[in-house]
Amino acid sequence: MSFVEYGDTIKDGDTAIVFLGHESMFPVKVQHGTVTQTKYGVIRHSTDLIGKKYGSKVTCSKGGWVFILHPTPELWTMNLPHRTQILYSTDISIITMMLELKPGSIVCESGTGSGSLSHALIRTVAPTGHLYTVEFHQQRAEKAREEFREHGVEHLVTVTNQDVCKNGFGVSNIADAVFLDIPSPWEAIGHAKSALKAEGGRICSFSPCIEQVQRTCLAMEEYGFTEINTLEILLRVYNVRTISLQIPDLGKAAEDNSSTGFDSSNPSHQGSLCANLQQGTVQFKSGVPLREVVGHTGYLTFATKS
Annotated binding-site members for S-adenosyl-L-methionine:
114-117, 135, 163, 181
Q: Are 49 and 33 spatial neighbours (Cβ–Cβ below 8 Å)? A: no
- Look at residues 175, 196, 87 and name the one whose alpha carbon lies nearest to residue 131: 175
List b or e across 171-187, with b for residues whose CB sees 16 or more CB atoms inside 10 angstroms.
Answer: beeebbbbbbbbeebbb
Phi, then psi, of 240 in degrees rounded to 5: -85, 125
Angstrom distance (rounded) from CA 16 to CA 1:
9
The most distant pair of C-alpha atoms in the chain lies apart, rounded to whole Å, by 88
- Collapsing DSSP to helix, strand or coil, 239 comes out as strand
- Collapsing DSSP to helix, strand or coil, 262 comes out as coil
Q: Measured on CA atoms in the order 151, 154, 155, 158, is the torsion positive or negative?
A: positive
> Annotated binding site, which residues?
114-117, 135, 163, 181
| Helices first, then strands: H and E counts in the chain | 9, 15
Angstrom distance (rounded) from CA 303 to CA 221:
9
Distance in Å from the first CA to the final CA of the chain: 41
